[in-house]
Structure 1
């Protein structure tokens, strides 16, 4: 009995994969359908399901192909796809590997334009509140465009014709092709570093949507939005519209129109100055006429015709006040004089001068008595003081020592009896002119009857 050869799952899957790869009809297929379960991986790969009303197929678009897309694949979008069909060995499923993708029924660039426009509008980049006012009289105008294009020539000639006082500063940039976006962004950054630029014109001449596409890129739009200098967008012709036009502070249909918006017309300025001069002249003339009329009315008014009648009431009032002041002064003087006379009579009636003399005499007598009493008292006190001095002098032990007496001290205390002393003790003897120290050799007691 022969054994049947069994294949492993991996071998069978590889066999099927080779069959898919060998089929020329699966190497380059064109498929249209609806996107579902779209997942854009952080690595840049895109995974989705392509379906119609009857079938679906798993699909993958790797980063190398996805990076070329101008639009963002979204759920439910109808697309036209080219790619190849093969087997994914890990799951054993066949899937479509996408090489290119474009919207079904609308151009990819147009779809990308609408998607970015919708996204930026949602973020508020087109809001009028962010738009900056253009300066009325700019001194330096920056231009971001191709160095040798027609746009820079049109801008320069227009500014020189309309407002030759303005200085033009060109920041050359590539405005078409793969290098256009970083070139425009770098030019914007460079222009912003110049603090003297008053307004920026960014743009180029006309062309296809592919030629103008750099001004539809998100990086350029955000750079324009974040620029602190007012920007005029002038991309293409009047019928061309780009994302840069929506983000800029002002849109011009052409580069020439942008230059006209950036600077005032010299003739218009002269006309405006003349108009302002005429307006000021008329205004001052009317004001002078008005003031002259007011002056005439004032001069012809009743108070100005009879000016004395204006201050007559005040003169009469002042006269009345002066009369009242004079009467008040006279009355006050009379009252003060009467009071003075009354006091004078009272002083004369009481004769205070004689009383003062009598009191002076009494005072002198009292002083004399006090003086005699004070002298007597001082004499008594002096006699008592001298008596006390004589007594103290008689009792002073130092005076007794002058007659040959002395004082014995034992250990600092006065010894007034031999009973306080012992033979062999050392004592101090105080004399009139000093102290001696001596040792007791013998002690003799007096009889009881001795004094």
Structure 2
């Protein structure tokens, strides 16, 4: 067979891929199975294996489709999938490309709700230690809900009926649809930046889980948790429970109930004031009776019936202290006067002018002694310096040369002996005013010269 009859691997794979694409039964297929080897790529793509008890198929869900998922695919989850089957050319494997996915047996929104609830509970966002107490008598009440609707009407009418002193500040928000969650987050931020809101009511009327889904979004939950204003969540009816209800500082079954929780009742306040008034009246009456009884007891006491006997010992003691004070004053005055006379005599004996003259004479004597000592020391040092100069001058070899002496050098070293010198060598002779070179003609020992 000719070599041209053989197909390349790439050509064969492309042919099979075209077959897959041409088969209408492989488009928009509905498959159910169990997720395995789930990998969520940072780019947003999801790769996994879809399997049952007999087979498995590699699957991919690209970011454009994965972005619409309300839940997070997890290992072992049973799902219902819609997608296309095609060939991945690089590996030559057929693969399921997923367009939509939902949990098998439970709704996608409910699964997403449970997953987020579990995550936030693990992080501690539902813990009671983070819950803020509602103010007893709020001055400004913020309301985050739709600008028009039954919720805001119910809240306003309830607040006006129960506690008309409170000021209502509406922060309108979209509470349904894809833009609801960002709108609620912005309203929370705006309410917190207002700076004077005492309590916030976050709510809307009832509806399906899809209608209430904005209050199950993670962004809304974290915004509620971060808000420093106490928040009452009132989303839906009494049977509806959202993530916002768990994160908020208090949950109310309806918007009307939230308004009742936010403020005290006017009738209850009046009753509390009257009760406090009665309590104060009874307390003061009992106190007055008690003080009157004490006053009667004091009036009938022995000291108050004979008051002069009460202060007589103190009068006698005061008189004795007065005598002691007078004696002490006289003694102190006499002692101070004697001391003053003694000091006056000493001051007249030691005249300040006489002391100054005497110290001046002492200062002149000290100056004269110091001058003589310095002059004597200076003469001694001058003589020592002159002696040292004369000695240095006597030892200076140049002075010796001036008297006719010279110094012989051999190779830069002083030749102070004939040992080591040979006839014919050249010596450098340093004289007073220069250096001459001389050649050794003869060498005579000192002993031979004496002979």
TM-score higher than 0.5:
yes
How far 1:318 moved relative to its partner? 7.0
CA RMSD of superposed structures (Å): 2.6
Equivalent in the alignment of 1:275 = 275
How far 1:18 moved relative to its partner? 2.0
Equivalent in the alignment of 1:92 = 92
Equivalent in the alignment of 1:221 = 221
Is residue 108 of structure 2 the alignment partner of residue 108 of structure 1? yes
Is residue 157 of structure 2 the alignment partner of residue 157 of structure 1? yes
Cα distance in 2 between the residues matched to 1:177 and 1:26: 34
Segments of 5+ residues of structure 2 without an aligned counterpart are 332-451
Equivalent in the alignment of 1:129 = 129
How far 1:269 moved relative to its partner? 1.2
Equivalent in the alignment of 1:209 = 209
Equivalent in the alignment of 1:431 = none
Q: Which deviations, in whole Å up to 9, do the C-alpha atoms of 1:97-142 show, x marking residues without a partner?
A: 1111111221111111111111112222222222222222222222
Cα distance in 1 between the residues matched to 2:322 and 2:90: 129
| Cα 1:82/1:291, change in 2 over 3 Å | same
How far 1:274 moved relative to its partner? 1.2
TM-score when scaled to structure 1? 0.68
TM-score when scaled to structure 2? 0.68
Largest Rg, 1 or 2: 1
Equivalent in the alignment of 2:366 = none
**1:189-268 pair list within 5 angstroms:** 189-268=189-268
Equivalent in the alignment of 2:53 = 53
Equivalent in the alignment of 2:119 = 119
Is residue 294 of structure 2 the alignment partner of residue 289 of structure 1? no
**1:358-397 pair list within 5 angstroms:** none
Equivalent in the alignment of 2:382 = none
Q: Secondary structure of the residue that 1:172 maps to in structure 2?
A: coil
Query: How many residues are treated as equivalent by the alignment?
Result: 330
Q: Secondary structure of the residue that 2:171 maps to in structure 1?
A: strand
Cα distance in 2 between the residues matched to 1:162 and 1:316: 73
How far 1:299 moved relative to its partner? 2.7
Q: Which deviations, in whole Å up to 9, do the C-alpha atoms of 1:161-218 show, x marking residues without a partner?
A: 1111222122221111111112212222222221222221111000010100000001
How far 1:296 moved relative to its partner? 2.3
How far 1:23 moved relative to its partner? 2.6
Equivalent in the alignment of 1:178 = 178
Cα distance in 2 between the residues matched to 1:161 and 1:307: 65
| Cα 1:196/1:323, change in 2 over 3 Å | closer
Segments of 5+ residues of structure 1 without an aligned counterpart are 334-451
Cα distance in 2 between the residues matched to 1:117 and 1:25: 40
Q: Which deviations, in whole Å up to 9, do the C-alpha atoms of 1:376-422 show, x marking residues without a partner?
A: xxxxxxxxxxxxxxxxxxxxxxxxxxxxxxxxxxxxxxxxxxxxxxx
Cα distance in 1 between the residues matched to 2:287 and 2:55: 88
